[in-house]
Amino acid sequence: MSAQDQEDVYFSTNPPPRHLEAHAAQARAFIDAHAAAGRRVVLVTSGGTTVPLEKQTVRFIDNFSAGTRGATSAEYFLEAGYAVIFLHREFSLTPYARHFSHATTGGFLDFLEVGQGGGVSARPDVSTKMVEILSRYHTARTENLLLSIPFVTIGDYLHELRAISRLMASLGPRGLLYLAAAVSDFFVPPERMAEHKIQSTDLGKRAQEAAAAAAGQDLNSADSSKQDSEEEEFDNFDSSPRVPRSKRLIIDLDPVPKLLLNLVDGWAPRGMVSSFKLETDPTILVTKARYSLERYQHHLVIGNLLATRKWEVVFVSPGREDNWLRVKRRGREWSEEDVKRLRQGEVPKEEPGEEIERFIIPAVKELHDQHIKANK
Ligand code: PAZ
């Protein structure tokens, strides 16, 4: 099947999110305003996508991403003069708020206190930082430099990504797509998705079947909760305690179509496209990043390892040497041995001395400068 056919099939069979049109209208107005002002616009994607197991979703598959990379990058892009569309997983980290909403030292309310006059004020020890971050946030909001658009599921994400990327096309090479979201590679297609909560007991399954029979329906045969009792067998593949098949939840996932090629060729063909590649095995990171670059013909892949992603990333781009960016260590220099261990995925004991996005964004901007020059 061609890339275009895959795209058509996916988008015609997976319903769009409820607010897609409203989000697209917001994005259009935002892009038009900044295009008129000659400002660059970056679309930052951030956080994980969920994979619902039921149409009326009680359960879903998720991934680890908290959206730190995306939210932090958005701040540095704003600092670098970009207008930012922040397409993020709902309730994940957001620019500026992240400094207080997900702190390891306490929740948001722990940073506040009731003052003498009865009003609320920042705790004295965090007040300077809060004023500084609040003022950066207010500037971004009042100057209309930050547009936040949420998604939840993999389907929502892909619909939103396509709609916004197509709008970004009007920016030509001045548009930048910075794809940092952790996007699921697998999903349950609608025709195999249970309508209702998947039942774990025989009673629940029988009740569902009886209700469906009374309504003259055949229960969705693709419902993963429904098992053919004729086949009731113990079919363990290993030595774990024997569980009858009907008591198990066997989830059958399809691959999510790879739509990066469609984005690069069709949705935003003149913009600069940079994606992230996440791996856990250090021996394959650069090979996979190069492979992605060749397969999708875009402009930059930023490789990172799950364990060391806050310490080091590698820029892989066409015609250039691999470029490793690394943060400083607190109170000591990197030795050759330290770097070797880091590259093998060994995490230093202390926290990073700074945010690696401080280095990533200027390096991306430099490549974007070159992209604009080359595509004028
Ligand atoms: O959200 P986070 O800061 O915890 O993680 C960021 C990340 C590892 C998801 C991102 O840097 C990344 O690699 N995104 C692409 C993941 C992928 O290969 O699909």
Atom of ligand 1 nearest to the CA of 92: 1
> 185 C-alpha vs ligand 1 centroid, how far in Å?
13
Q: Is residue 29 part of a domain?
A: yes
pLDDT of residue 169: 97
What is the residue-level pLDDT of the chain in tens, covering all 376 positions? 999 999 999 999 999 999 999 999 999 999 999 999 999 999 999 999 999 999 999 999 999 999 999 999 999 999 999 999 999 999 999 999 999 998 777 889 999 999 888 999 999 999 999 999 999 999 999 999 999 999 999 999 999 999 999 999 999 999 999 999 999 999 999 999 999 999 987 778 788 888 888 888 766 544 444 444 445 566 566 666 677 777 889 999 999 999 999 999 999 999 999 999 999 999 999 999 999 999 999 999 999 999 999 999 999 999 999 999 999 998 889 999 999 999 999 999 999 989 999 999 999 999 999 999 999 8
**The two three-digit tokens of residue 283, written as one number:** 């021996």
Q: Is residue 208 part of a domain?
A: no
- Where is the domain boundary, 270, 286, 316? 270
pLDDT of residue 239: 64
> 87 C-alpha vs ligand 1 centroid, how far in Å?
14
> ipTM of the assembly?
0.99
pLDDT of residue 270: 97
In a mutational test of the pocket of ligand 1, which residue from 49, 64, 69, 312 has the highest number of ligand atoms less than 8 Å from its CB? 69
In a mutational test of the pocket of ligand 1, which residue from 161, 309, 347 has the highest number of ligand atoms less than 8 Å from its CB? 309
Where in the sequence is the domain holding 93, given as residue range(s)? 1-199+246-270
pLDDT of residue 217: 76
Protein residue with its CA nearest to atom 1 in ligand 1: 67
- Where is the domain boundary, 218, 236, 270? 270
Please list every protein residue whose CB sits less than 6 Å from any atom of ligand 1: 65-69, 180, 182-183, 276-278, 304, 309
Residue 332 and residue 256 share a domain: no
Q: Is residue 108 part of a domain?
A: yes
Burial 44-78 (b: 16+ CB within 10 A, else e): bbbbbbbbbbbeeeeebbebebbbbbbbbbbbbbb
Residue 283 and residue 186 share a domain: no
pLDDT of residue 204: 80
Protein residue with its CA nearest to atom 4 in ligand 1: 65
Neighbours of 281 (CB within 10 A): 10
- Where is the domain boundary, 270, 285, 313? 270
* Number of domain units in the chain: 2
**CB < 8 Å & 24+ apart, contacts of 124-130:** 126/100, 129/99, 130/100
Atom of ligand 1 nearest to the CA of 310: 3
Q: Is residue 222 part of a domain?
A: no
In a mutational test of the pocket of ligand 1, which residue from 65, 87, 306 has the highest number of ligand atoms less than 8 Å from its CB? 65
Residue found under tokens 């013909």: 297
Residue 285 and residue 260 share a domain: no
Residue 297 and residue 153 share a domain: no
Q: Is residue 79 part of a domain?
A: yes
Q: Is residue 204 part of a domain?
A: no
Q: Which domain CATH number covers 26?
A: 3.40.50.10300
Element (H, E) at 293: helix 285-296
